[in-house]
A and B are shown apart, each in its own frame.
Chain A
Amino acid sequence: MSTTTVEPGAAGPKTNRIGLTVMDYKGGKTTLCAGCGHNAISERIIEAMYEMGVQPELLIKPSGIGCSSKTPAYFVSRSHSFNAVHGRMPSVATGAMLANRKLVCIGVSGDGDTASIGIGQFVHLMRRNLPIIYIIEDNGVYGLTKGQFSATADLGSKLKTGVVNDLPPIDTCALAIQLGATLVGRSFSGDKRQLSAMLKAAIAHKGTVMLDVVSPCVTFNDHEGSTKSYKYVKEHEETLQDVSFVPHFEDIAVEYDPGSTVEVTMHDGSRLHLRKLEEDYDPTDKIRAITRLTEAHDKGEVLTGVFYVNPEAPNFLDMLNVVDQPLATLPESLTRPSKEVLDAVMEELR
């Protein structure tokens, strides 16, 4: 949907379920290159937050370092952002979610920020299943340092300078599934419909979401020989499912054929519909997912879709048995035990 449309004849601008307009979700002006895939992703995030009616002030946008990590400045300015250090956004996001479990967290990273310097924090974030949406804006190169390969670059992909990548790529989706993330998918910055549906499902999910969004770098990796160029992705994209999303607050009966479509009921009652384009694909089967991803690499496909989903897995905050109110603002009466407690402890130590 367009961000500026005003419905003809309406009294005012269109609003979402919490009475905000899409303008309330806008960000600052992008400083990325014209045509950068990341800008399209920012647009999709704005739409998804608006359409899902996320309170902007409850959203936090931590990021690492790199072009992708700059993007929180370009969407939802009414939300707190934290542009942290290279590769270590997961720990900052984790701390923030421990402090305030009411927050909605969208962490933005890149392939360099995630798969190289940040791989350690990435894998441990995936294990904890904290309610965090982790997005990799994946272009296979380091943009801010002018075009070196990252660890998601495909074998045989070529740099502008002619240098060929001779190391195998890290598949962040396969890794995330293996490690415990509970909603994992890959999309393409140019696939508006699929990415929007996946982002909305991500917002509805109460666990760790890992979305790898292939997002071409127009300056350093959009040439012939690159496997992350617009042209290459369009020519090699294989889509697992036709993804659509029905939010819990929209009382819409959607007819679907249970034979060809998998329906996933999300934690909040929203429904994710995955119309199978590959007949036998089951997004609740981890082993199948990893096998299919491995096949995709062998065939040179850019496989997209929802690879794995489990809306029921316990999340880390529940495992920690943390109180329902944000820890950040608990009153002193709850965080400082009484003098009697201290006296009792002292008595034991005598």
Chain B
Amino acid sequence: MATTDVTPRGSAGGVGQKRIVNDMSIQVATVNGSGSQSSNTVLLRSIFQMGVPVSGKNMFPSNIAGLPTWYTIRANKHGYIGRKKEIDFLVAMNPETAQEDTMSLAAGASVLYDEPLALHKLRDDLIFYAVPYDKLVAAVCPEAKLRKLVKNMVYVGVVASLLTIDMAEVEKAIRKQFAKKVKAANLNLAAAQAGFDYAKANLQKRGAFYIERMNATAGKIIIDGNSAAALGCMFAGCTVVTWYPITPSSSLVETMIEYMKEYRIGPDGKATFAIVQAEDELAAIGMVIGAGWAGARSMTATAGPGISLMSEFAGLAYYVEVPGVIWDIQRVGPSTGLPTRTSQGDILSTAFLSHGDTKHIMLFPCSVTECFSMAPEAFNLAEQFQTLVFVMSDLDLGMNNWMSDPFEYPTTPINRGKVLGKEDLDRLGGFARYKDVDGDGIGYRTLPGTIHPAAAYFARGSGHNERAQYSERADDFENNMERLNRKFETARSFVPRPEITKGNNAKIGIIGYGTSHWGITESRDQLRDEYTIETDYLRLRAYPFTREVHEFIEQHDRIYVVDQNRDAQMLTLLRLDLKPELTTRLRSIAHITGLPLDARSITDELTSMEGK
């Protein structure tokens, strides 16, 4: 009988332990390809539907089936949705990792395991619950070949029982998950119910963790960053998408294909877009550039290895001045690195991508909301500045599920930048493609197909003068490069401004960007509550850095720059931009494990550097 496995041992659990409500992390360890993603999503949604802020993070292998994968659900009443370092509740479904997973837990955590694994023998400072999954699943699923997939839904029911999650919410989540597949929904529901009933009858709850209804998720949505980006690009008026499959960016375009097929079909039944799977990343960006030159709103999505391959073309776009949007869903490099783990490792290489003097506008979304809202911003900037704009997302943001307010409809109109049409050319008589008419470094361009004898210009990656004519003259070259620099300086005033959050009379500043935001936000509370350290926080949203970034650094004695890479890439980029006397104020908190950055790691590093 399973209940004998959960005899209290040592100090774990016990009567009188304080209740911890809506503040926990659950880790589900499974084998990839076992259908656990559905179970995990159902569990996540069930908690979400109870009104509790929640996030889900998938730590998966670069493999299709048979290797270990972990899914972490964090429920937090304060709304902390970054990764929590400690695991409070382990669901050990994978025999291969069960022992190590169990051994790495902190004392007092709970472990739910498949009975034959007998994990309770490993430690006496944890709370163990054993479940005979095979027996339970056999009873509800007569078809043997489906049992492997349904088995995972059993733990959802057990967890619901142990953490007091309402089974009505589990059912709702299952119905949503399987949508029109009623038979599958019923089968999975029966499995979850079997787990729930078993736990009610046989397991004595002893852990401190409870889910209770609250009202912090009303009206919110759950979405991953890549889907949010896909939606954003659709509403940005993107017309040409080219891509080459690469983890973790593929789902961005795949989701976009689905949305575009549904919502971007013109009145004549034809597509108002073209999406092309290219032969490689070089062709993908080449097509983006060809399309951008010819006037489309074009984009691609890739990851670090793709960015490296795009290097030569990126320089062409910079120098010929062609708009385009590149989504970099960063993963761990160098080289193939850890293809299914997250990092912010492409910051420096992207900032200066290509040979010669090049630099590129980058945007740093931290949330699914920004994945959506920065998409139209990126396209507008690309066309306004006639250059590539890189949106630097990452795997944590792109592929994980995040809770968010619903996205707001874009209010800024589509801005096609300085494009001269036939009427303009009639009025002007002609134009010089690379002349700085307005003093902002941005020339006027024409699109192929503009019927006017003076419309054409010769786009070339070789040296050119204001009239786009081939030139090797020193003054032509220098003037053009200086104008390009002026254009980049102009961009400083147009890119998204940083978000600044003030502490109480803080001397210390924190600079972060992207998904580090969630760990930083939580860490600042830890610093205040546990160490009485007040901090101000600036979240970068774009490169080139705006005026506010320099001011923020000037206003603080010490600034901790948080990077999810080894070499403090953003700190390095900041240093290049700062007055020399300010560079010594920067200190690095750099994190490189492939796991999303957690608050505790920031707090520990910062306090240690503060001598606490």
A-contact 0/1 string along B437-481, CB 8 Å cutoff = 000000000111111110111111110000000100000000000
User: A264 in the interface, Cβ–Cβ < 8 Å?
Assistant: no
The answer to whether B279 touches A95, judged by C-beta atoms less than 8 angstroms apart, is no
| Complex Cα spacing A100 to B239, Å | 11
A92-B289, A96-B448, A98-B287 known; A329 vs B316 contact (CB < 8 Å): no
Q: Which residues from chain A contact B272 at a C-beta distance below 8 Å?
A: 323, 327, 330, 334-335
User: B129 in the interface, Cβ–Cβ < 8 Å?
Assistant: no
Tell me the A84-101 residues at the B interface (CB within 8 Å). Answer: 84-85, 88, 90-100
| Complex Cα spacing A115 to B360, Å | 32
Q: Which residues from chain B contact A72 at a C-beta distance below 8 Å?
A: 458
The answer to whether A103 touches B448, judged by C-beta atoms less than 8 angstroms apart, is yes
Selected contact of A92 from candidates B220, B268, B286, CB within 8 Å = B286
Give the size of the chain B interface in residues (CB under 8 angstroms).
73
User: A337 in the interface, Cβ–Cβ < 8 Å?
Assistant: yes
| Complex Cα spacing A163 to B545, Å | 55
Chain A nearest CB from B110 CB (Å) reads 30
The answer to whether B409 touches A95, judged by C-beta atoms less than 8 angstroms apart, is no
Q: Which residues from chain B contact A93 at a C-beta distance below 8 Å?
A: 290
Q: Which residues from chain B contact A58 at a C-beta distance below 8 Å?
A: 448-449, 451
Q: Which residues from chain A contact B455 at a C-beta distance below 8 Å?
A: 57, 78, 80
Chain B nearest CB from A236 CB (Å) reads 35
The answer to whether B222 touches A88, judged by C-beta atoms less than 8 angstroms apart, is no
Selected contact of B270 from candidates A83, A97, A321, A341, CB within 8 Å = A321
| Complex Cα spacing A14 to B387, Å | 43
The answer to whether A99 touches B296, judged by C-beta atoms less than 8 angstroms apart, is yes
The answer to whether B461 touches A84, judged by C-beta atoms less than 8 angstroms apart, is yes
A81-B456, A83-B461, A335-B264 known; A349 vs B270 contact (CB < 8 Å): no
Closest to A88 in B: B286
The answer to whether A95 touches B292, judged by C-beta atoms less than 8 angstroms apart, is yes
User: A254 in the interface, Cβ–Cβ < 8 Å?
Assistant: no
User: B295 in the interface, Cβ–Cβ < 8 Å?
Assistant: yes
Selected contact of A81 from candidates B240, B410, B459, CB within 8 Å = B459
User: A73 in the interface, Cβ–Cβ < 8 Å?
Assistant: yes
Selected contact of A88 from candidates B237, B240, B283, B457, CB within 8 Å = B283
Q: Which residues from chain B contact A81 at a C-beta distance below 8 Å?
A: 456, 458-460
| Complex Cα spacing A231 to B259, Å | 60
Q: Which residues from chain A contact B413 at a C-beta distance below 8 Å?
A: 332
User: B242 in the interface, Cβ–Cβ < 8 Å?
Assistant: yes
The answer to whether A84 touches B316, judged by C-beta atoms less than 8 angstroms apart, is yes
The answer to whether B316 touches A85, judged by C-beta atoms less than 8 angstroms apart, is yes
- Residue of A55, A58, A93, A121 most packed against chain B (CB within 10 A): A121
The answer to whether A327 touches B239, judged by C-beta atoms less than 8 angstroms apart, is yes
| Complex Cα spacing A73 to B266, Å | 38
Tell me the A324-350 residues at the B interface (CB within 8 Å). Answer: 324, 326-330, 332, 334-337, 339, 341-342, 345-346, 349-350
The answer to whether A91 touches B278, judged by C-beta atoms less than 8 angstroms apart, is yes
User: B494 in the interface, Cβ–Cβ < 8 Å?
Assistant: no
Is the contact region of chain A dominated by helix, strand, or loop, or is it mixed?
helix
User: B392 in the interface, Cβ–Cβ < 8 Å?
Assistant: no
Q: Which residues from chain A contact B240 at a C-beta distance below 8 Å?
A: 95, 98-99, 327
Selected contact of B298 from candidates A99, A120, A322, A334, CB within 8 Å = A99
Chain B nearest CB from A53 CB (Å) reads 14
User: A178 in the interface, Cβ–Cβ < 8 Å?
Assistant: no
A57-B451, A336-B410, A341-B263 known; A90 vs B283 contact (CB < 8 Å): yes
A100-B295, A100-B449, A349-B222 known; A320 vs B274 contact (CB < 8 Å): yes
Q: Which residues from chain A contact B459 at a C-beta distance below 8 Å?
A: 80-83
The answer to whether B456 touches A80, judged by C-beta atoms less than 8 angstroms apart, is yes
- Residue of A93, A120, A121, A327 most packed against chain B (CB within 10 A): A327
Q: Which residues from chain B contact A79 at a C-beta distance below 8 Å?
A: 448, 456
User: A192 in the interface, Cβ–Cβ < 8 Å?
Assistant: no
B-contact 0/1 string along A13-50, CB 8 Å cutoff = 00000000000100000000000000000000000000
Q: Which residues from chain B contact A330 at a C-beta distance below 8 Å?
A: 237, 239, 272
The answer to whether B460 touches A350, judged by C-beta atoms less than 8 angstroms apart, is no
User: B293 in the interface, Cβ–Cβ < 8 Å?
Assistant: yes
The answer to whether A99 touches B295, judged by C-beta atoms less than 8 angstroms apart, is yes
| Complex Cα spacing A236 to B231, Å | 60
Q: Which residues from chain B contact A335 at a C-beta distance below 8 Å?
A: 237-239, 264, 272-273, 297, 414
User: A246 in the interface, Cβ–Cβ < 8 Å?
Assistant: no
Chain B nearest CB from A123 CB (Å) reads 8
The answer to whether B219 touches A100, judged by C-beta atoms less than 8 angstroms apart, is no
User: A315 in the interface, Cβ–Cβ < 8 Å?
Assistant: no
| Complex Cα spacing A23 to B395, Å | 56
A84-B316, A91-B278, A95-B242 known; A73 vs B470 contact (CB < 8 Å): yes
* Ranked 10 nearest A-B pairs via Cβ: A95-B290, A91-B286, A328-B295, A99-B296, A335-B237, A95-B291, A99-B294, A95-B287, A92-B290, A349-B221
A-B contact pairs, 20 of them (CB 8 A): A58-B448, A83-B460, A85-B312, A85-B316, A88-B286, A88-B313, A91-B278, A95-B240, A95-B290, A95-B292, A96-B291, A96-B448, A99-B295, A99-B298, A100-B296, A326-B449, A329-B447, A330-B237, A350-B220, A350-B406
Point out residues on A near B: beta carbons under 8 Å: 24, 55-58, 60, 62, 72-73, 77-85, 88, 90-100, 102-103, 120-121, 124, 317, 320-324, 326-330, 332, 334-337, 339, 341-342, 345-346, 349-350
Apart from A322-B273, A335-B238, A339-B409, what 14 extra A-B contacts exist at CB < 8 Å? A57-B456, A60-B448, A88-B282, A91-B278, A91-B282, A91-B287, A95-B288, A96-B448, A97-B294, A102-B449, A321-B270, A323-B268, A342-B231, A349-B222
